Amino acid sequence: MILQILNRTLRVAKALMTPSPANKDVRYEAMHNPSRYRGEHRVDYETCIGCDSCNKICPTHAITMKKFPFKKQNIVPEVSLSVCIFCGLCEDVCPTKPEKSIILSGGRYDMLSGGWHEDQNDFWVHTDVPQSYIDSRLEDEEATRVKKELATKKKVAEAEAKKKAEAGEEIKKVETTLPDFNKGVLE
């Protein structure tokens, strides 16, 4: 009898001493976090060739393509995480090498935890492209465009010059009428 009681107290004491397995705050640290884990997307706008194939294969239409003002390779995927089912097909289908432009594996797992979200925009992977990048792309394109134009201009230079001269005269006429109109309003 006494032995039994002792035995049981010992068992309880042991159980109290062993650390609980539930000692991680899984909001910030996953219990199991493999390298292939399909989490939040990362989009590399510089390598993305704008082929649209991730958008085409997406089974839930979670991807929308963001447009840029320049002409070539001018779309980049943006993902709505509240629609996405994290199947990873967009990553599979991405043709860029060696690094894929859209990657889920190894992505963040805590995107939906960690506090209170009031805005649907919190569940979007937005591709924030700095203005300087857009400007540089525009400049590049402008440069190539100008180069091309100069080449073509040489061929049709004379005819174009004539037309431009005529058009230029017309614009001058319009400009002269405008100040008159303004004066009338002010008086």
Partner 1 sequence: MENVRKIIENFTCEYVENYKKTWLKAKLSSKDDLLNLSEAIKKEGLRSLSTVSPTDFLEDNIMEMNYFFEDLDTKRNLWLKVDLPRDKEGCKIESLTPLFASANWHEREAFSMFGVQFLNHPDLREIIKSEDFKGVYPFRKDFDWDAHEKNQTQNIQQIVDAFKKEQNENEKDLDPDSSETILNWGPTHPASGPIRLRVHCDGEEVISIDPDIGYVWRALEHLVTKKDFVGAIVAVERLCFMDNINSMVGYCMAVEEIAEVEITPFASWMRVLLGEVARVSSHFMGLGGFFNNMGLHTLGMWNMDTREFFLDFLESYSGARIATASIEPGGVRYGLDMSMFDELQKALDKFDNSVGEVEAVFVKNPTMKLRSDNVGILTKEEVHEFGLSGIVARASGVKTDIRIDEPYAAYGELDLEYITQEKGSAKDRFMMLFLDLKQSVEIIKKAKAHIEKAVADAKMNPTKDHMVKVPKKLPKGEAISRVEWARGEVLMHLVTEEKAKTPYRLKMRAPSFNHTMMLNHLLKGQTLADIPLIFGSLYICQGDLDR
Contact positions toward partner 1, by CB under 8 A? 32, 34, 36-38, 57, 59, 85-89, 92, 104-105
**Spatial CB neighbours of 68, under 8 Å, sequence gap ≥ 6:** 74, 75, 76, 129, 134, 137
Least distance (Å) between residue 35 CB and partner 1: 8
CA 33 to chain centre: 24
Least distance (Å) between residue 75 CB and partner 1: 20
Q: For partner 1, which is the closer residue by CB, 37 or 124? A: 37
Q: For partner 1, which is the closer residue by CB, 65 or 93? A: 93
User: Burial of 183 by CB count in 10 Å (0-12 exposed, 13-18 middle, 19+ buried)?
Assistant: exposed
Q: For partner 1, which is the closer residue by CB, 36 or 173? A: 36
Least distance (Å) between residue 38 CB and partner 1: 4
Segment holding 4, helix H or strand E: helix 2-17
